Amino acid sequence: MKHKKLKIGILGFGTVGQSLYEVLQKSPSTSAVIEKVVARNPNKKRNIEIKNLSFDTREITESTEIDTVVELINDDIEAFKILKTAFENGKNVVSGNKKMIAENLQKIIDLQNQTGQSILYDASACGSIPVIRNLEEYYDNDLLQNITGILNGSSNYILTQMYRHNKSYNEALTEAQEKGFAEHDPVFDVDGFDAMYKLIILTLHGFGTIAKPKDIFFTGISGISESDIRFAREKGLKIKLIAHACKVPGNKVALFVMPAFVEQKNYLYNVDDEFNGVIIEGDAYDKQLMFGKGAGGHPTGSAVLSDISALSHQYKYEYKKLHLPKPPGVSDDILLKLYFRYEKPETIDILPLQTIEEQYVGPAFHYTVGTVKLADLLINSENLRKFVSFMALRNISKESIITHYANKKHYRQQLIPVD
Amino acid sequence: MKHKKLKIGILGFGTVGQSLYEVLQKSPSTSAVIEKVVARNPNKKRNIEIKNLSFDTREITESTEIDTVVELINDDIEAFKILKTAFENGKNVVSGNKKMIAENLQKIIDLQNQTGQSILYDASACGSIPVIRNLEEYYDNDLLQNITGILNGSSNYILTQMYRHNKSYNEALTEAQEKGFAEHDPVFDVDGFDAMYKLIILTLHGFGTIAKPKDIFFTGISGISESDIRFAREKGLKIKLIAHACKVPGNKVALFVMPAFVEQKNYLYNVDDEFNGVIIEGDAYDKQLMFGKGAGGHPTGSAVLSDISALSHQYKYEYKKLHLPKPPGVSDDILLKLYFRYEKPETIDILPLQTIEEQYVGPAFHYTVGTVKLADLLINSENLRKFVSFMALRNISKESIITHYANKKHYRQQLIPVD
């Protein structure tokens, strides 16, 4: 067994960087030595004494000692530059930067091919749960059908608090921020960006499909109110923010991120608090759930450590599905049954509905349940953001995700008024 | 990416063999071609037309065409011979035979080193759930603390039926047999052998420890009665057959298989029916659950397919933990809090109890809850089998698994009679 003693440089010394530093002390057999830590702010007070602390990125990317760059900064543009420089200087990279990775998939693959260096990024989706590695290595055949997951711990924590303790969205958000589960600026988490980027990464390793952020419809939970929670509770459902990658006819995958009403029998129903859970569904093995802590310093630090360890064993992603004779393309040609809540009754007119199944007009709010084409959601996403307070998949199940529908033409039914 | 087109021979054409045959048709990109299928019984009527069907093992093990032997027979002695011959003839092997593997770990590793061939056996534990591969590849550092799992689908199905529908053990067993979840001779499943062999395999890949079957205390569910289920239900618990590998002080692992009372908050509480679930617990990432169909033709067939696919990418187990500076030894020096139910009150005298916490003497049965050393269970296993109707860990939690205890001497308390 080849096993290389890595000399690592850690770039970025926030929560994850510090946790990695601690976790590495507990894992002497990993055979990685920290040569240098580069933090951003020289004036920040730190709890732990760091040997070899520096504030100049080049001391890592241009070091002749360091062979492995562990990139844990927030800025995705800067992170990509670091990746490129590191590769060019003959270093491998470990990263948890989902945005940088998802935005640059093809470039990252090309750079690896050109330089012979490699990047591992299992920490970028679902923290400590080894989802990327499993999709890449284990579900390596044509049986894989769907990936469905709660990929964002902050949103899940907020939704759990609202459901369980009748807290308002703002109360729950504040609490998530206090506990360190949500950032000071929570948009990335609660509006679905984070889950969308993770979905892109999972889709590459699951299906061999390189999707672009602009082609994915995503919406988050920031508009949720107590009335949505009440609607869910009355029907024995919970609301979860869920990312979907579904195989659809014609060798395609449909991708979207949105809240969904989840029945008790669904595996994701019990994935609460800051946990993540991913269902991997295949032709022969039915459904499998991988479940664990998706966020937080230590879980993510341990995922980074697993990548470091894998690098020391010369492991690299081979992007196996990308080498399939014909990886699936991205499709937006599916029908979804959605719940829309809005304030002004006339909003109904801008909803790109194909059918209306249910409608409520009340003093405080209005909602409509109906079917919509995913393509129409994408086209109308700006309007939806503006006029719809909250939207969610009516049911996380095949009933609400219709991949075969007979009449592909516009078949919106007449609006049925409700008292 | 190197990708080899494998020429496989399937030995054994029972449920799993047939499912693999079917699953392979659905997975054209796997690049494995079935050159030969060898079944045991020439006179058996078969539902599907098999090309290249034969009844002579040597047509596979001695073939000059076949490079990969897929061994799916029941007999562990015969299976080991096949493995050896296959290796000597330059073939790799895929197997799901947990008994053969667990009984011969060291020999199998030596044979791989000697011949340069390899065996993959992810199908041998938890069917389609990629537990072995994850323990080998992902949790590859010193953080791993415990592996706890429902590893036997038959027992879990029976327990679920008893709990949910108030069925008797015999009714539930018959049903499991009718549904194909339990063998005609169920001893291997319901008395803990199956889970014990799987635990040995998981322990090797998780901790680098080679344990021997004789060193593991295991007991199953065949003695369970409605009164045990009632005891559990009254306390809001379920009973599950659970295999444990726990890191204990002094760089050791304690291994045992037995039923346990499981609280609702435990991840395994909701692992019902024929499903398997494994909790992987580590220092930084806390607990993770992997959950899915652990048995049955198609799930196991898809696990075999994953191994075939991995072989085609030149993947082999490197037994990484075995190369740790010092893999943990096996310990039986822990205290367990157990529930014992028995028929004759004097059985209490043969129980190797350290303390007695609770006792019930009634017209129909008697039980005692108390602490016992794992070492004493091993020594007394024959008597326990003879005189104890049913035993279970009182609680699947740290309270009932005591790895640090002050007084290592015999400290059995005086028996407290209960009215």
Domain boundaries, chain B: 6-127+312-318, 131-252+264-292+321-329, 335-402
Q: Compute the mean pLDDT over every residue in chain B, rounded to the nearest whole number.
A: 91
**CA–CA separation, A146 and A124 (whole Å):** 20
Question: Which of A241, A193, A190, A198 has its CA nearest to residue A217?
Answer: A193
Domain A335-402, CATH 3.30.70.120 — does that match? Answer: yes
- A128 and B28 in contact by Cβ < 8 A? no
**CA–CA separation, B122 and B103 (whole Å):** 16
**CA–CA separation, B287 and A185 (whole Å):** 29
SS3 A251: coil
Residue in chain B lying closest to A287 (CA): B292
Q: Are A264 and A271 in contact (CB under 8 A)?
A: no
- B133 and A137 in contact by Cβ < 8 A? yes
Domain B6-127+312-318, CATH 3.40.50.720 — does that match? Answer: yes
Calculate the CA A300 to chain-centre distance: 14
Q: Are A120 and A96 in contact (CB under 8 A)?
A: no
pLDDT of res. A282: 92
**CA–CA separation, A267 and A278 (whole Å):** 9
Q: Please report, for residues B6, B13, B143, the alpha-carbon distance to residue B54 in angstroms, rounded to integers and kept in the order given.
A: 19, 11, 48
The DSSP line for B31-89 is -EEEEEEE-S-TT---SS--TTEES-THHHHT-SS--EEEE--S-HHHHHHHHHHHHHT
pLDDT-flagged residues of chain A (< 50): 1, 413-419
Shortest Cα–Cα distance, A26 to chain B (Å): 7
Q: Are A93 and A73 in contact (CB under 8 A)?
A: no
- Closest residue to A142, CB basis, from B28, B133, B143: B28
- Which token pair is B36? 């030969």
Catalytic residue (choose from B198, B240, B252, B321)? B198
Q: Are B23 and A284 in contact (CB under 8 A)?
A: yes
In sequence order, the 6+-apart residues with CB closer than 8 A to the CB of A42 are: A55
**CA–CA separation, B139 and B109 (whole Å):** 20
pLDDT of res. A419: 41
Q: Are strands B68-71 and B92-95 parallel, antiparallel or unpaired?
A: parallel
CATH number of A131-293+321-330: 3.30.360.10
**CA–CA separation, A201 and A147 (whole Å):** 12
**CA–CA separation, A64 and A185 (whole Å):** 37
Domain A6-128+312-320 shares a fold with domain A335-402: no
Q: Are strands A252-262 and A217-218 parallel, antiparallel or unpaired?
A: parallel
Calculate the CA A302 to chain-centre distance: 18
- A289 and B286 in contact by Cβ < 8 A? no
Q: Are strands B68-71 and B6-11 parallel, antiparallel or unpaired?
A: parallel
Using H for helix, E for strand and C for coil, what is the string for B262-291? ECCCCHHHHCCCCEEEEEEEECCCEEEEEE
Best of A8, A120, A129, A285 to disrupt the B interface (most B CBs within 10 Å) is A285
pLDDT of res. B97: 95
Best of B139, B247, B288 to disrupt the A interface (most A CBs within 10 Å) is B288
Catalytic residue (choose from A91, A99, A167, A198)? A198
The ipTM estimated for the assembled molecules is 0.88
Q: A192-231 in b/e burial notation, b at 16+ Cβ within 10 A? A: bbbbbbbbbbbbbbbbbbbbeeeebbbbbbbbbbebbbeb
Stretch 324-383 of chain A: residues touching chain B, C-beta under 8 Å: 324-325
Q: A151-175 in b/e burial notation, b at 16+ Cβ within 10 A? A: bbbbbbbbbbbbbeeebebeebbeb
- A320 and B1 in contact by Cβ < 8 A? yes
- A298 and B320 in contact by Cβ < 8 A? no
Q: Tell me: pLDDT of B366 over 90.
A: yes
Phi, psi of B2 (to 5 degrees): -75, 135
Examine the residue annotation and report whether B212 is marked as an active-site residue of this protein: no
Residue whose token pair is 């719940």: A339
Calculate the CA B417 to chain-centre distance: 38
Note the helical H segments in B138-280.
153-165, 169-178, 187-190, 193-207, 226-234
Shortest Cα–Cα distance, B86 to chain A (Å): 23
Q: Are strands A252-262 and A329-331 parallel, antiparallel or unpaired?
A: parallel
pLDDT of res. A413: 46
Quick one: what percent of chain B has pLDDT higher than 70?
A: 95
Residue whose token pair is 């919106």: A412
Stretch 29-48 of chain A: residues touching chain B, C-beta under 8 Å: 29-30
Residue B25 touches chain A, beta carbons under 8 Å: no
- B292 and A289 in contact by Cβ < 8 A? yes
**DSSP H/E element including B104:** none
Residue B143 touches chain A, beta carbons under 8 Å: yes
- Closest residue to B293, CB basis, from A130, A286, A309: A286
CB atoms within 10 A of CB B304: 31
pLDDT of res. B295: 76
* Class of the CATH domain delimited by B131-252+264-292+321-329: alpha beta
pLDDT per residue over B269-306, tens digit each? 999 999 999 999 998 888 999 999 987 888 899 999 99
- Which token pair is B40? 């045991």
- Closest residue to B138, CB basis, from A19, A27, A306: A306
**CA–CA separation, A349 and A359 (whole Å):** 13
pLDDT of res. A406: 63
Calculate the CA B199 to chain-centre distance: 5
Residue B156 touches chain A, beta carbons under 8 Å: no
SS3 A52: coil
- CA dihedral in degrees (A91, A96, A98, A101; nearest 10)? 10
Question: Which of B202, B200, B195 has its CA nearest to residue B215?
Answer: B200
SS3 A106: helix
Q: Are B295 and B337 in contact (CB under 8 A)?
A: no
Residue type, A36: K
Residue in chain B lying closest to A293 (CA): B285
Residue A283 touches chain B, beta carbons under 8 Å: yes
- B285 and A302 in contact by Cβ < 8 A? yes
Point out which residues pair with B291 in neighbouring strands. A289, B277
Residue in chain A lying closest to B293 (CA): A285
Level-2 CATH architecture, domain A6-128+312-320:
3-Layer(aba) Sandwich (3.40)
- A305 and B143 in contact by Cβ < 8 A? yes
| Residue B419 banded pLDDT, cuts 50, 70, 90 | very low
- B313 and A318 in contact by Cβ < 8 A? yes
Residue in chain A lying closest to B321 (CA): A29
Q: Are A132 and A276 in contact (CB under 8 A)?
A: no
